[in-house]
Amino acid sequence: MGTLSHENGMTIYNLLLEYAPGGSLADLINKYGGKIPECDVRRYTRMILKGLSSIHNNGYVHCDLKPANILVFPSDQQDFQLKIADFGLAKEPDEDNSRKFFYQYTFRGTPLYMSPESVKLAEISPALDIWSLGCIVIEMITGKPPWHELDVEDFFVRLAFEGSSPEIPASMSKKGKDFLRMCFMRPHCERWTADMLLDHPFIVDEELTSPFEQEELLPPSLSDDVVKSMCKLILSDYSPGQGLFSSTDRPLSLGSTCKRLNFGPIGMGCKETEKSLLSKDGLRTKAN
């Protein structure tokens, strides 16, 4: 509240926040058709972890981390930047509380992203946000949050009294699965912190790097002429000002372009390459 000022409170005349032209992470998941490639999930998770690290190291717990509260901003350095928003439920532990947690007496957070201790109205610590982060990673991978098939009452019972944890997607890499296990440790004191997770192999290993971050954007078997043909076909569907997504509100499909060129599906590289080639201003210089 603007560090307050007193004579009995209030003041804040306005609340001005930066505009997020890319919408939210929830919008991005929908535009991907529900499933984001794991190499991109890794990159987005790293951004969120950096934000959480700053929040936690400054003594706050967000308490309502979810895709709708993570905003998307264009960036010159990469396709976009993610930023954590909406601190309406955030809490700050007392300065003299060296244990860095406090007890709650009402539910805080959004069901499906809440941790076991949140549902039990137990102490709140930064570990609460880590559980929510794990739920977000699952949603980026599968298109659905954990427990989406349950109503709220069943969710609370399953999480608080049956000792259940979210199901880790079988399609994830071993390092991705291990990362989620560290997020979903039920005793909150055993859950990894944001700083610890930033050093997890899932986040730091280069083998999971997106093609956007690599020197070579396309499989070496494709000639320069083929690349140029692909670029022309993509741009024929591209409308300036609409960024990565077409007027039908879905990603432009390099996969369909490959089929039109009689190359058939190139696998995961197709969708990854399309994202590498396109930006809000059209083709990136690197691909020309």
The identity of residue 152, as a single letter, is V
| Tokens coding 212 | 């956007």
Return the ∠ at Cα 218 (arms to 215 and 221), rounded to 5°: 120
Q: List Cβ<8 Å contacts ≥24 apart for 8-12.
A: none
- The count of C-alpha atoms lying within 13 angstroms of the C-alpha of 83, restricted to the half-sphere facing its C-beta, is 17
69 phi, psi to nearest 5 deg:
-105, 15
What number of other Cβ atoms are within 10 A of residue 93's Cβ? 18
Is 234 strand, coil or helix? helix
Q: Give the CA distances from residue 115 to residues 25, 107, 126, 135, 162, in Å, rounded to whole numbers and listed in that order.
A: 20, 11, 11, 10, 13
The single residue of 40, 64, 79, 129 carrying the catalytic annotation is 64
For residue 248, give the H/E element and its range. Answer: none
Distance CA 10, CA 17 (A): 19
Distance CA 209, CA 252 (A): 22
Catalytic status, residue 79: no
Distance CA 42, CA 202 (A): 7
Distance CA 27, CA 174 (A): 28
Distance CA 120, CA 147 (A): 17
- The rounded radius of gyration (Å) of the Cα atoms in the chain is 21
Q: Which residues are catalytic?
A: 64
